[in-house]
Structure 1
Amino acid sequence: MNRDIESVIDDAIALISSLNSSPDSIPPYNVDAMKKCITNINKLYKKNADDLIILKSGSISENNRKQEVVITAQARQSCIEYIKRCCCTYLNERMLRIKHLRWKHGGHIPEKLKESMCEAELKWLQEYNSLLADFQSSLGENGVNLLLNMKPPHNLFVKVRAKQNIGSFELSDGTTVSLTENALHSLPVADCEMLIRQGMLELAKREAGKYAVPVKRGQFDATGRDTMYVDERRGEDRRQAKTDLLIGSGSIDRSI
């Protein structure tokens, strides 16, 4: 009996295992396992229906035999419910991941990820996008883009690096910035957020816990020697700290 139960729920377990093995992406839709789960549910249901007919017919007179049939039917029903929960969890989790990736990539899921989606999921995504577009256009005179400013920024400007040659990019204040591959820029979060999520820009990596303050808007010194570095742990300007040290040691006249 235990082996029979294990065999009918193996495919359901495989569905959940495929999600656990790829927690940050969408694994290819497992059509075969899903079909086997449906087939197993139908087989278990039919066996229970047949046993119920036998019990109602009174063809089984022994109480022990009746009890055995009832227990077996209950075990089958538990398997049915378990398989159903696994299938529903599989479909719901995939839907949540698709929705998350849709927002993460600025409304456009990469084609490589779409290849892992089934036809029903692609149709659902299309309808979801359509509903969101209608909702956004219905707000205000010019509509609202819900993809912008999804999180409150810690800073109004952010240091980014272009991952490819994007060309001229106009900021919200009319300033034009040339975004060339590997170039560093300090841009308003509201202007570059969409490009970051689409993979065209990336946040510049911080070195040794420090970040460069731009000499002027949108530009950084290539070597970093002419920029001011801020110690994140204490929030003190290194140059000012060095000046204070020289004054304290008498190297600089305090009256100056």
Structure 2
Amino acid sequence: MAQTSAPPGAPGVADAFEGDPFRSLPWVDMRREYLGPQAQVRWEARVRVQGPDFAEDPMNVPIHVQVDPALGPVRQITVLVDRNPIRRVVDYFPVQALPSLSFRFKLEQASPVRAAVQTADGVWHVGGTWVESAGGGCTVSGATRKDGSWSQTLGEVSGRLFSGLPEGAGAASRLRLRVMHPMDTGLVGGIPAFFVNRLSVRDAQDRELARLHSYEPVSENPVFSFDFAQPPAGGVRIVGSDNNGNRITSRLE
């Protein structure tokens, strides 16, 4: 997994790229649209984004985002891909979880992949990595859409809670779950956008531990990994929905 994070420091100097270390033309508009026109942005090495050097399968590109605890409490993590036709991939709200997230997404062409992390003071801290790709991930139908099997498993959730993680993982417990869904981008002829847009992880007392808003570029049958400082007592409950209003609900002991 390659890792490229922007250097730490003050907001970028006034130039056409606003200090962007990738010198990406879409960045200025992305910053305004997704982070806010008046957002304070800092390039931050403590926001680590890990991905492959080359996306062998552009429909399933693994990404891991981890924020150094020294950065302070995290409100939100937004993952953006500059050169995708749909640039926003996920908004993650750790709530009581650790600021760490893993998943797979579709990549249309070689691009910077960024994580923008908002801390309690409202400042956005941005790190990223560059992923090479032959492309085409956003404009091709997934396997279950092609064979028609998606309707038989739609909304099914499977997962597992792991504890006793290796030293250095930075977490005492990890929740890995898969949601069966075609995650259509709407960019394939005759197939409208159809995707999981909200997931909430709750404990046995129905207290929210983490919340995720996902968008069209997330891979088919998405797998997400969430980290916790302590194992959730009594297991977890997963609730959510897709953009067509289909409900998702499951319980993991």
Question: Which TM-score bucket, shorter chain as reference?
Answer: under 0.3
Higher strand share: 2
Higher relative contact order (CA 8 A, sep 6+): 2
For normalisation by structure 2, the TM-score amounts to 0.22
Relative to its length, the structure with more helix (as a share) is 1
> TM (normalized to structure 1)?
0.21
